[in-house]
Amino acid sequence: MSDPTSLTLAEARDAVRSKSLSSRELTEAHVAAVAAARPLNAFITETPERALAMADAADARIARGEAGPLEGLPLGIKDLYCTEGVRTTAGSRILDSFVPGYESTVSSQLWRDGAVMLGKLNLDEFAMGSSNETSYHGPAVSPWRRPGSETALVPGGSSGGSAAAVAARLCLGATATDTGGSIRQPAAFTGTVGIKPTYGRCSRWGVVAFASSLDQAGPITRTVRDAAILLRSMAGHDPKDSTSVDLAVPDYEAEVGASVAGKTIGIPRQYRIDGMPAEIDALWAEGVAWLKAAGARIVDIELPHTRYALPAYYIVAPAEASSNLARYDGVRYGLRVPGRDIAEMYGNTRAAGFGPEVRRRIMIGTYVLSAGYYDAYYLKAQKIRTLVRQDFERAFADGVDAILTPATPSAAFAIGEKGGDDPIAMYLNDAFTVTVNLAGLPGIAVPAGLSADKLPLGLQLIGRPFDEGTLFSLAEVIERSAPKTELPSDWWSATAPTR
């Protein structure tokens, strides 16, 4: 086989199972690709020796007829998932030397099913960001470029390393997390598929926390089928996570290609935001046409509290972050910067260990939880969150099976182009995605076309709770109908920042 990295996860699975390709050969090809693509800065930690050992063990199991669902398939792991014996940094200086003595539930399930770990992927610090520019290890870089330009583009965030690595074919798939759009937005920016499952579908145990009531694990892959395969291994009840739901995990792959005839798709008027580019609106209309041609019924719906979702999210999420990140004090693990007393040591450690965006969100969160402001900000944001959830519940009660929206308000932008002195400009990237997290619903981003600058654009499908299967069947229609968003073959020649 000329280039094993050109295979999708499903194709590689079938090749390894049929023994036309060994896991060792597949893994060696991806290890070499990771090393060659270091200018993308997609990986924080590479684990080639471990990957090859895992590949050899997978080949031995295949020879014995004991292959698991992901046997011998090389994956990347977002560096928010604790991996036993492998550095886990959360993209932060404060955890730069942290080596967990335990494995996250999700990653342990991947190894249970035979997957191979290539390494740990870059991300915004503590998953706080929409461009992967807040990482202590430097920004991950998208393999995409505007035609005729060598300007480095962001891969989205916070799961930017995951999206960049999958798009560049450095791994067959990657784990990611989504707190306000951090799976779906990077997927849309890089022409990949990303699904945020229903809250509670995947265990959060062993995943470094940002905002506990919003965080959810999920995969980024090259195709809808690949995402269905990977999610089945990632999902499942975990008694160690009190928010994990005890529901059987369906065969998601069986839903890919299923008929969508008769499904009712809602189109929310409130997602037509002021200043939305015409090409995003046109893409949305094309998505409607593709689903309608496949037999779906299209209806207009109202989600009236959508306009309040973004400000509510940027109160709730920082409030939870300020509580979760209080544990990083220099006492138990991670960075410690000495001081004259313990209070000064706390302050020195946190000032040195956290980057500007994390410090900003801790300060916002502490403020909105403080006496005199809790009712005015945090309590009001939680009430808005309830109203947002009720909007979706009414739509689904009226017979809507899924909701179609744009995934992002624009294509990828250049590194350093947004955020600088106005963090709100960066926060607006989450305009179409945060409602899904506030309501705890599943959402998938699927490639749907190219912008005028020949960069990927995606559409988002939002589903009923725990109905990821319907999303996979609908997303496959869009994937099949849309023009292909293949990464140009000469992307390697484009220049990119080095580590």
Q: Is 78 a catalytic residue?
A: yes
Q: Is 19 a catalytic residue?
A: no
Going by C-alpha positions, the residue among 132, 140, 135, 131 that lies closest to residue 38 is: 140
Angstrom distance (rounded) from CA 105 to CA 202: 9
Angstrom distance (rounded) from CA 194 to CA 179: 13
Q: Which of 23, 142, 162, 182 is catalytic?
A: 182
Angstrom distance (rounded) from CA 3 to CA 23: 14
Going by C-alpha positions, the residue among 426, 344, 425 that lies closest to residue 133 is: 426
Q: Which of 22, 23, 78, 131 is catalytic?
A: 78
Going by C-alpha positions, the residue among 114, 169, 180 that lies closest to residue 4 is: 169
Q: Is 292 a catalytic residue?
A: no
For the CA atoms of 16, 228, 38, 145, the dihedral, rounded to the nearest 10 degrees, stands at 120
Q: Which of 130, 158, 203, 322 is catalytic?
A: 158
Which residue type, as a one-letter code, is found at position 163?
A
Q: Give the burial string for 7-22 (b: 16+ CB within 10 Å, else e).
A: bbbbbbbebbeeeebb
Angstrom distance (rounded) from CA 405 to CA 288: 9
Q: Could you give the residue numbers annotated as active site?
A: 78, 158, 182
